[in-house]
Amino acid sequence: MPAQETDGKNGNIAVLGGGCFWCLEAAYKRIAGVIAVDSGYAGGNVDEPTYEQVCTGKTGHAEVVKVTYDPAVISYEKLLELFWKVHDPTSLNRQGADVGTQYRSALFYVDEEQKKTAEQSMKKEQSKYREPIVTQLVPLAHFWPAEEYHRDYFDRNPFAGYCQAVIKPKLDKLDLGVRKI
């Protein structure tokens, strides 16, 4: 059963793909106004995919996070500012050593307002890069939650090699004036 796509009708979720979901989850959990961050899969053609299936690159799914946020505290636009900072949107189907379509940069919008905001944000961001932004902008059809062992990965394994080498440097970029205290 897909997670509640319909809760986005109130404009309070953002579904984002920017490489490994462990990285995005760790970053967004530390932002004021973010209520919950769920790792999962979106954008593919297999119902209820498993991590093992997604890793093959044959499902069409990307590793994503579903960010539930309070729009009275943080806007979708501000969430996108963080998105551009914590991954390389000009890198096609990879982030660092993580390679494959499952690591693609993607924004899954839930309504036309999110789509318009994402288009404007992407256009503004493009001026900061020499290479073209390759982030996909697609409607959210379904969000499938990841397996339990992927949830809160950084918080449970802060000293693991991947966490220190890849996730921690991304967290150091969280200078948006929106950190949780």
Q: Is 38 helix (H, G, I), strand (E, B) or coil?
A: strand
20 carries an active-site annotation = yes
The backbone region for 108, taken as left when phi is positive above 0, alpha when psi lies in -120 to 50, beta otherwise, is beta
Q: How far is Cα 44 from Cα 58, in angstroms, rounded to an integer?
A: 9
Dist CA 16 CA 154 (whole Å): 18
List strands edge to edge, sheet with 144-145.
Answer: 136-139, 105-109, 13-18, 62-69, 34-42, 144-145
Q: What value, to the nearest 5°, has the Cα angle with vertex 83 and ends 111 and 95?
A: 115
Which is the catalytic residue, given 20, 23, 55, 163? 20
Residues serving a catalytic function are 20
